[in-house]
């Protein structure tokens, strides 16, 4: 099969990049940039998880995400609850995208990907390696450092840095 016929039969890829994004970090954004170059359409999907106590509401997280994905024409933001594979099917997605920062991420991601495949074999999970510069960044650590007054510049988009500062400042101010 030559290149032209491969291109002619290539399937369009709609990928879901799911997560908590509480808040979005530059590591997430790096993955979004990489993913958007690989797929036709990328839906960044925030889980509505009543069991977790997030710092930012789903609406606040979605608003921050909407802002930072503006430069990417094929990226949109959504929210979901329940099973990821059900949401992916509803949105016509044929791929789930997740990032692997370090080997410590692998075990959880492997289990989740295999469970998702069992639930919905039509949808493949693809893993992308985050850039080395972002491999230590997590939303949890960023929140901890911001809360303790540490420097988080370069770890999150400037708009998120601002939101984190004012969130913790307002809380202290109000206490």
> Interface with ligand PNS by CB under 6 A: which range of 7-15, 112-120, 121-129, 144-152?
112-120
Minimal CA–CA distance to 124: which of 97, 147, 160, 90? Answer: 97
Nearer to ligand PNS, 83 or 133 (CB): 83
Binding residue (CB under 6 A) for ligand PNS from 26, 36, 116, 130 = 116
Identify the active-site residue in 52, 70, 118, 153.
52
Is-contact 19 46, C-beta < 8 A? yes
Sequence-ordered list of residues with C-beta below 8 angstroms from that of 28, at least 6 positions apart, any chain:
19, 21, 99
Is-contact 119 83, C-beta < 8 A? yes
Q: How far is the CB of 84 from ligand PNS (least distance, A)?
A: 4
Is-contact 56 156, C-beta < 8 A? no
84 binds ligand PNS (CB under 6 A): yes
Tell me which residue has tokens 């044929």: 94
Minimal CA–CA distance to 149: which of 172, 123, 126? Answer: 172
Q: How far is the CB of 6 from ligand PNS (least distance, A)?
A: 31
Tell me: cis bond preceding 23? Omega within 30 of 0 counts.
yes
Nearer to ligand PNS, 14 or 20 (CB): 20
* Per-residue binding letters, 38-57, with ligand PNS (x by CB under 6 A): ---------x----------
Is-contact 84 20, C-beta < 8 A? no
Identify the active-site residue in 61, 101, 143, 163.
101
> Interface with ligand PNS by CB under 6 A: which range of 4-12, 16-24, 59-67, 125-133?
16-24
Active centre residues (catalytic): 28, 52, 101, 139
Sites of contact with ligand PNS (CB under 6 A): 18-20, 47, 83-84, 112, 115-116
């Amino acid at each position: 099969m030559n290149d032209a016929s491969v291109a002619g039969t290539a399937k369009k890829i709609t990928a879901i990049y799911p997560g908590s994004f509480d808040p979005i970090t530059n590591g997430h954004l790096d993955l979004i940039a990489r993913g958007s170059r690989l797929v036709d359409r990328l839906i960044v999907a925030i889980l509505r998880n009543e069991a977790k106590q997030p710092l930012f509401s789903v609406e606040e997280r979605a608003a921050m995400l909407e802002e930072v994905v503006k430069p990417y024409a094929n990226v949109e933001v959504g929210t979901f609850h329940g099973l990821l594979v059900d949401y992916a099917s509803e949105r016509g997605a044929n791929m789930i995208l997740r990032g692997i920062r370090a080997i410590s991420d692998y075990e959880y991601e492997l289990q989740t990907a295999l469970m998702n495949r069992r639930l919905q074999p039509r949808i493949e999970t693809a893993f992308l390696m985050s850039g080395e510069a972002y491999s230590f960044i997590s939303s949890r650590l960023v929140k901890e450092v911001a809360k303790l007054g540490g420097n988080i510049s370069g770890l999150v988009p400037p708009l998120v840095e601002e939101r984190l500062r004012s969130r913790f400042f307002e809380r202290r101010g109000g206490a």
